[in-house]
Amino acid sequence: MEKRRVYDYLIVGAGLFGCVFAHELHQAGFKCLVIDKRGHLGGNTYCRDEGGIKVHEFGAHVFHTSSERIWAYVNSFVPFNRYTNCPLARYKNKVFSLPFNMNTFNQLWGVTTPEKARLKIREQVREYSTKFPKNLEEYALSVVGSDIYHRFIKGYTEKQWGREARELPAFLIKRIPLRFTYDNNYFDDRYQGIPIGGYNKLTDALLKGVDTKVNVDYLKDKVALDLLACKVVYTGPLDAFFGYEIGRLEYRSLAFEHENLDCYDYQGNAVVNFTEFEIPYTRIIEHKHFEFGKQPYTVVSREYPRAFTRGSEPFYPINDARNNQLADAYRVMMNRIPNLIFGGRLAEYKYYDMDQVIASALTKVKQEIISQNGFESEQNNGIGAI
Ligand code: UDP
């Protein structure tokens, strides 16, 4: 590596991918600068402190993973609490359990046993059972049937994605478990929780000792910033990197309306999904419940899905066939650029969960350190230790 530059690596974006990458490189003895366009570190995991309540400014982040290695990794920076995500669905002022499980089936149909619930679902899907569902609607109807689809999926999905469910890929709802037990835990993963004291504890610990600068727009000042380091790790949007040269990728954006309330408990749960289309927001998050807060006040956030326009924040990649093809083409272009590494939800254009982002960063940084050192660094007690 050329040693004349101030930094070995310039890491663009202080989200989880950038933080993990920077941490591991720093541990291995490389000099890194992490920059971010926004005014804070931690990307979308950033939490604002409101009198002890950690407000998930950019939407609810519940860490979950089945990987012992990733769980041990994040817990080595900050202990995690025992928060278990059990969101509720509100449909026409009635409250139902999520994910779809025996509690939901009982609330919907009065059935009390798994056998009766299976019979009911079988009856519900009979007219829709199609061997090869072509879209999200066909898939949902063929798996859970009409009652569940129309109450809990269609309205939520169409406002979330701004498209008809018939025009969306089925994989989007394969994230929601379907169970025939009385289990309201949203995730099937072995481990889940929230960092005690909030996500900033995790990202600050990852960035300890690393130089950082916020309010720096890499793409606006690319030529000068590139001169600072021998290599660049880019975690921003894939298409923006190339000035949209071969087309624009689509994203879904979000807007949040945060409200401080002078009451102890607003909704009795961290996450309530509003599944009917007519209500413009998809969820209300009550942040104190992520950390079992006992403050006499509370903070809630309404999450509004928004079209992605120039200047708005990209939150979700829209991984349909057209966008995936375009992203593949951009990835080929990216791979041809020397001294550039890219990763994370935006730069890979993948609907990654936090644990997947961390796993991907660890894999890529390990390869990078090996390629620089010719062997695994002894200083690198981060990845090597796990
Ligand atoms: N979904 C739904 N009803 C719900 C919750 C989710 O139809 O009450 C669908 C929706 O299409 C959503 C997808 O399932 O985009 C994945 O939901 P999840 O909550 O896992 O997504 P997140 O926005 O938290 O990444």
Residue 375 pLDDT level (bands cut at 50, 70, 90): low
* R_g of the chain computed on alpha carbons: 22
Give residue-wise pLDDT tens across range 181-191. Answer: 999 999 999 99
Catalogue the active-site residues.
175, 179, 252, 283, 303, 351, 353
Give the distance between the most distant pair of CA atoms in the chain.
72
Better-scored residue on pLDDT, 175 or 48 = 48
Q: How far apart are the first and last CA of the chain?
A: 27
Q: Tell me phi and psi for residue 138, to 5 degrees.
A: -60, -40
Please report the pLDDT score of residue 379 as a whole number.
47
Does 175 sit in the ligand 1 pocket, CB within 6 Å?
yes
The rounded mean pLDDT for the chain is 95
Residue 189: count of CB within 10 angstroms of its CB: 15
Residue 259, phi then psi, degrees to nearest 5: -140, 130
CA of 41 to the centre of ligand 1 (A): 26
pLDDT single digits (tens) 57-89: 999 999 999 999 999 999 999 999 999 999 999
pLDDT at 120 over 80: yes
Residue 94's pLDDT band (cuts 50, 70, 90): very high
- Whether the CB of 273 sits within 6 Å of ligand 1: yes
Q: What is the pLDDT of residue 129?
A: 78
Average pLDDT over residues 91-114: 98
- 160 within ligand 1 shell (Cβ under 6 A): yes
Q: Read off the pLDDT of residues 324-366 as tens digits, 9 standing for 90 and up.
A: 999 999 999 999 999 999 999 999 999 999 999 999 999 999 9
How far does residue 91's CA lie from ligand 1's centre (Å)? 15
In the chain, pLDDT over 90 holds for what percent of residues? 92
Q: Is the pLDDT of residue 386 over 90?
A: no
**Ligand 1 contact via 170 beta carbon (within 6 Å):** no
Q: What does the block give as tokens for 225?
A: 């910033």
pLDDT of res. 175: 87
| Residue 310 confidence class, pLDDT cut points 50, 70, 90 | confident
Q: At what angle do helices 16-27 and 354-373 cross, to 10 degrees?
A: 30
Domains of the chain: 7-48+62-81+192-249+318-382 (3.40.50.720), 100-173 (no CATH)
Ligand 1 centroid to residue 208 C-alpha, Å:
34
Token digits for 367? 């390869």
Tokens of 308: 């992605």
- Kindly report which listed range (1-5, 188-192, 289-293) carries the lowest average pLDDT score: 1-5
What is the full DSSP assignment across 229-281? EEEEEE-S-HHHHTTTTT-PPPEEEEEEEEEEESSS-SSSSSEEEE-STTSS-
Per-residue pLDDT at 74: 98
Confidence of residue 382 (pLDDT cuts 50, 70, 90): very low
Residue 3: the pLDDT is 64
Element (H, E) at 366: helix 354-373
pLDDT of res. 150:
97
Q: pTM for the whole thing?
A: 0.94
C-alpha 348 – ligand 1 centre gap (Å): 21
Q: Give the closest residue to 150 by CA, choosing from 93, 92, 198.
A: 92
Report the C-alpha gap between 316 and 130 in whole angstroms. Answer: 29
Comparing 104-108, 171-175, 249-253, which segment has the lowest mean pLDDT? 171-175
Condensed to tens digits (0 to 9), the pLDDT of residues 233-285 reads 999 999 999 999 999 999 999 999 999 999 999 999 999 999 999 999 999 99
- Ligand 1 neighbour 323 (Cβ under 6 A): no
Minimal-distance CA residue to ligand 1 atom 2: 153
Q: Is the pLDDT of residue 221 over 90?
A: yes
- Look up residue 75 and give its two tokens: 């817990």
CB count in 10 Å sphere of residue 135: 15
Q: Could you tell me if 87 and 273 are in contact, meaning their C-beta atoms sit under 8 angstroms apart? A: yes
* Three-class SS of 97-128: ECCECHHHHHHHHCCCCHHHHHHHHHHHHHHH
pLDDT at 383: 41
CA distance 39 to 275: 33
Structure tokens at 219: 């793409």
pLDDT at 384 over 50: no
| Predicted local distance difference test score (pLDDT) of residue 43 | 98
> Residue 253 corresponds to which tokens in the numbers above?
């954006």
Decide if pLDDT at 10 tops 70.
Answer: yes
